[in-house]
Structures are given as structure tokens and as C-alpha cells.
Amino acid sequence: MEKNATPAATATKELLVQNKMGIHARPAAMIVRVTNKFKADVHVEKDDEQVNGKSIMGLMMLAAAKGSKVKFVATGADAEQMLTELEALFAKKFDEA
């Protein structure tokens, strides 16, 4: 008897960078701290660039300044939870001005 594989859940959320300095080292580290709490895979898109959402260097290479929109695409059972936490992190502007 074959077992049917359940397809992994995919969740997508576009977030606005609102903090003054954009996604530099500290916000990138905060994003990675959130994404690493979850098993879901995640990538981040800005313009035509796509990076691993669990990579500080990748996130910094997006050069996401204030006012930029970044799209998170997470795949896995806890994808929706991950994006909810990321949305809260962006909403509080990474605890910056």
C-alpha cells in the first residue's frame, strides 16, 4: 500500500521595510533568528533577486532600504506561523526608529 505524501503548505507575505536604515546587519540577524525557529524553508524576494531567508548575508545583499517591499515565501507545516512572527518584527521596525 502506497502512502500519499501531503504537499507542504506554502505561505507568502509581502512586507514593507519601515525602519530608517533598512535591512542592515542587525535587522538581518533578527529576521534569521525568527526564521531559524521554524522548520519551514523560506526565501525572500526583492525586485529580481531571491535569497535564502535563513542567511544574514543573503538578506543584507538585497539592499532593502526604507520603503522597500520584500516578499517572503515559506514552505512547510509551520510556514504561516513563521510569516506571522516576521510580520510582527517588521511592524515594530526591528526596535529601531
Q: What is the 3-state secondary structure (H, E, C) of 77-90?
A: CCHHHHHHHHHHHH
Q: What is the pLDDT of residue 1?
A: 44
Cα 74 to chain centroid distance, Å, stands at: 8
43 in active site: no
Q: Report the predicted TM-score, pTM, of the whole model to 2 decimal places.
A: 0.91
C-alpha cell at 53: 531567508
Strand runs labelled E in the chain: 10-16, 41-46, 49-52, 69-75
Architecture of domain 21-92: 2-Layer Sandwich (3.30)
Q: What is the pLDDT of residue 97?
A: 65
Q: What is the pLDDT of residue 72?
A: 99
Given a cut of 90, whether residue 2 has pLDDT beyond it is no
Q: Where are the domains of the chain?
A: 21-92
pLDDT in tens, 62-86: 999 999 999 999 999 999 999 999 9
Which residue of the set 13, 18, 21, 24 is catalytic?
24
